[in-house]
Amino acid sequence: MNNKVERFKKSLNENNLDSAIVFKPENRRYLSGFTGTSGYVVITEEKNFFITDFRYVNQASKQCEGFEILKHTNDRTLYDILNELGLKNLGFEDAFVTVSQYNDFNDKLMGISLKPLRDTLDKLRMIKDQDEIEEIKKAAQIADEAFEYICEVIKPGITEWEVALEIENFMKKKGATGTSFDSIVASGIRSSMPHGVASHKVIENGDFVTLDFGCIYNGYCSDMTRTVVVGKASEKQKEIYNVVLEAQETALEAIKPGITGYEADKVARGIIEAKGFGEYFGHGLGHGVGLEVHESPRLSPLGKDILKANMVVTDEPGIYLPDFGGVRIEDLIVVTENGCERLSKSPKHLIEL
């Protein structure tokens, strides 16, 4: 049996659910392996079903090992099929299903009680298996190669948009199917914007340039950030950079199984606060990465989850000074039995281009 499905069934049983329906794309792929855009995973105590329409029956038959493939049509709808299966307590993705969809399920399902799955799948997906880690490593490797390449491209006169386009084209040529998110290229005073998506601003000599990007490889994401200086760094730029680097590397040494996301965040935040820049670090230290670029666990002041081996998370402190610029340094890492392993291999010393 698919180990992911087996773990999910165990969770359903612990929550007194005899079945569940799953159709959030990432959760659907996690359980079934299906990479198409339309379909429903239905897990029962006895069997696993994948319900889709005419367009995807053949694809699902090839990808969804261990699932019985059922086709819904205008004459035999999804609701008809669910009613035929004899379900009683049906778990659903309450954080994903719309009010309209929920009302349709309530109106058209006969004698089936809908029960929220809450964070059941989020918790399962936090722990990666070895195959998942290998896919993420490959995505991280492509991002590292893209950073090495783009350092040869960035120069005064090029726009942020052109830099982002070069990064994204490079990653796709290396096998990525897409970007994990809209690439952030923020230069000069725009680098004080933590999520400064690439604009048509021209990069100038003396600018900080923050590069935050990642790619998708076989469905799994990477995420990394490096900040460089075009030309020679000023003393103030060096000061800010070195504080962020110290916070980032100290947190890296602290991240291991048994600590909470809150405790990991506190390590980096304490260093930045001690240097007088606490008010300029306004986001969490990191987040989980997998089929989604932002998933559980959270490494932040609100991060309650305990870190465990085989979680993949980011370590990305930053300082952002309005009207001056900002620095963020981010590694993608996997928690190991005794600590953590960097998946982002790009250099972290201050690079002056």
pLDDT band at residue 2 under the 50/70/90 scheme: confident
Sheet holding 220-221, edge to edge: 178-179, 215-217, 220-221
Q: Which domains does the chain have, with CATH numbers?
A: 3-125 (3.40.350.10), 127-342 (3.90.230.10)
Residue 197, pLDDT > 90, answer: yes
Question: Beta 184-187 vs 208-213: how paired, if at all?
Answer: antiparallel
Rg (CA), the chain: 23
| pLDDT (tens digit per residue) in 257-303 | 999 999 999 999 999 999 999 999 999 999 999 999 999 999 999 99
Q: For residues 249-261, give the mean pLDDT.
A: 98
Q: For residues 205-211, give the mean pLDDT.
A: 98
| Cα–Cα distance, 46 to 123 (Å, whole number) | 23
| pLDDT (tens digit per residue) in 7-62 | 999 999 999 999 999 999 999 999 999 999 999 999 999 999 999 999 999 999 99
Question: Beta 224-229 vs 220-221: how paired, if at all?
Answer: unpaired
State both tokens at 269. 């935040």
Residue 114's SS3 state is: strand
Residue 253, pLDDT > 70, answer: yes
DSSP 201: P
- Burial state string for 274-287 with b = 16 or more CB within 10 A and e = fewer than 16: ebebeebbeebbbb
DSSP 15: T
Residue 137's SS3 state is: helix
Q: Percent of the chain scored above 70 by pLDDT?
A: 100
Spatial contact of 106 and 128, defined as CB atoms under 8 Å apart: no
Helix axes 235-254, 261-274, angle to 10 degrees: 150
| pLDDT (tens digit per residue) in 141-151 | 999 999 999 99
Query: pLDDT at position 157, please?
Result: 98
Spatial contact of 120 and 15, defined as CB atoms under 8 Å apart: yes
The pTM of the full predicted model, rounded to 2 decimals, is 0.96
Residue 1, pLDDT > 60, answer: no
| Cα–Cα distance, 173 to 182 (Å, whole number) | 18
Q: For residues 86-108, give the mean pLDDT.
A: 96
| pLDDT (tens digit per residue) in 165-193 | 999 999 999 999 999 999 999 999 999 99
Q: What is the DSSP string of 245-313?
A: HHHHHHHHHH--TT-BHHHHHHHHHHHHHHTT-GGG--S-SEEE-SSSSSEEEEESTT--SBP-TT-EE
| Mean pLDDT for the chain overall | 97
